Amino acid sequence: MDTHFSDDIGKLGFGLMRLPKKGLKIDIEQTKQMVDEFMQAGLNYFDTAYVYDMGGSEKAAKAALVDRYPRESFKLASKLCAWVMPTEKAAKQELYTSLERTGAGYFDFYLLHALQQNNYKLYDKYHLWDFVKEQKEKGLIKHWGFSFHATPKILDELLTAHPDAEFVQLQLNYADWENSKVASRANYEVARKHNIPIIVMEPVKGGVLANPPKKVQDVLKEADPNASFASWAIRYVASLEGIITVLSGMSNTEQMRDNLSYMKDFKPLNDAEQDTIKKAQEIINGIKSIPCTACHYCTDGCPKKIPIPEIFEARNKQLVWGQLEEGKKKYAKAVENAGKASDCIACGQCERACPQQINVIEKLKECSEKFDV
């Protein structure tokens, strides 16, 4: 089933997961400005979720978007995360809570959220595939699909079992294209085999490709000194066939304006630019780093309150950039009022939640050996 959404949706979507902060809260005024500039550029797809900032993102969508623009002028997506809920009833309640938080009346796109190897069967157990179809019939959902972080084999099984899914959201970026755990290329090819439209998440790999390793920067700058590093990543996935839109989690107006500069009037990568990306991929494939995207799914249930993404960021300062002292400083700041890497009790909840399938316990041990001395 190849449902054509592209006629009224731009190639760039506004991901509302990493909104600007003022202190610990979302900066609503800056978010309003970003929404305005996004809409003025003729773009209209916004993506939030029940679990983003425990509702802060959805409430921000209401204040910055829903309350300020005609409902038919934008597309709003949200998500149902079954594995954070203890019962089927509680999981289904997420939809109604999300509708209340956003005030949207309905969701243009609604997703079963972050299906992984250790949780995807829960969506069957809770009868959530049937639930989203029923809500579509009631008009609370216009289109339904799912976001996915597992193997191509499982994706093929799900799309075979649910051929009426209208789209799938995949983590696609040039750094993970041949990554055996993320399997960007292989999952993309499965989706294309099933002829199902794709929404792209993590095109900049949680910001990593906005500031890639220096050797990658040198290659990209040589090819185009005026292009931002993020532009290469976003244009790469937007150039693929079958893409509805590419989500970018923009955290300030500068990031928004950079993205709009090349996505307002999107042009696919040409052959020379594709060759440049291949060179960047070869460099990245030779670097051993921790592939954390700072989604923070791992931290919500950590009994020791360990700031895992921030610790991994500190470690990558050493692994990717060779900045030993900078890494130590970042680590010290991250654990100042939180758990240390050495506090890990190996309960495994972080690994069950991690979309990147990182061996978190093992990596925390490595970080402890480097930093807790």
pLDDT tens for 307-354 read: 999 999 899 888 877 778 889 999 999 999 999 999 999 999 999 999
Residue 306 has pLDDT above 90, yes or no: yes
Read off the pLDDT of residues 58-96 as tens digits, 9 standing for 90 and up. Answer: 999 999 999 999 999 999 999 999 999 999 999 999 999
Rg (CA), the chain: 20
Average pLDDT, whole number, for the chain? 94
Q: What is the pLDDT of residue 238?
A: 98
Report the alpha-carbon distance of residue 197 to residue 191 in Å, rounded: 7
Tell me what the mean pLDDT of segment 2-30 comes to: 87
Instruction: Examine the pLDDT at 161 and tell me if it is beyond 50.
Output: yes
- β-pairing, 21-22 vs 25-26, is antiparallel
Residue-level pLDDT at 344: 96
pTM, to two decimals: 0.85
Of 110, 181, 175, nearest to 146 by C-alpha is 110
Cβ atoms of residues 41 and 33 within 8 Å? no
pLDDT at 2 over 60: no
Domain boundaries, the chain: 12-285, 308-371
Residue 244: both structure tokens together: 């509805």
pLDDT the model gives residue 3: 52
Report d(CA 5, CA 142) in Å as an integer. Answer: 12
Query: pLDDT at residue 16 above 80?
Result: yes
Sorting pLDDT into bands at 50, 70 and 90, what band is 55?
low
Per-residue tokens: 151? 């193997």
Report the b/e string of 151-186 with b at 16+ CB within 10 A: bbebbbebbeebeebbbbbbbbbbbbbebeebbbeb
pLDDT tier, 289 (very low <50, low <70, confident <90, very high otherwise): confident
The predicted model gives 241-264 an average pLDDT of 96
Residue 6 has what pLDDT?
58
What are the tokens at 289? 């780093």
Greater pLDDT, 294 or 197 = 197
The two structure tokens encoding residue 51:
């679990």
Of 109-118, 137-146, 163-172, 317-326, the least confident? 317-326
Q: Does pLDDT of 1 surpass 60?
A: no
Instruction: Identify each DSSP E strand in 103-235 by its residue range.
Output: 107-115, 141-148, 167-171, 198-201
Residue listed under structure tokens 């773009």: 43
Which pLDDT tens digit goes with each residue over 173-221? 999 999 888 999 999 999 999 999 999 999 999 888 999 989 999 999 9
CATH topology of domain 12-285: TIM Barrel (3.20.20)
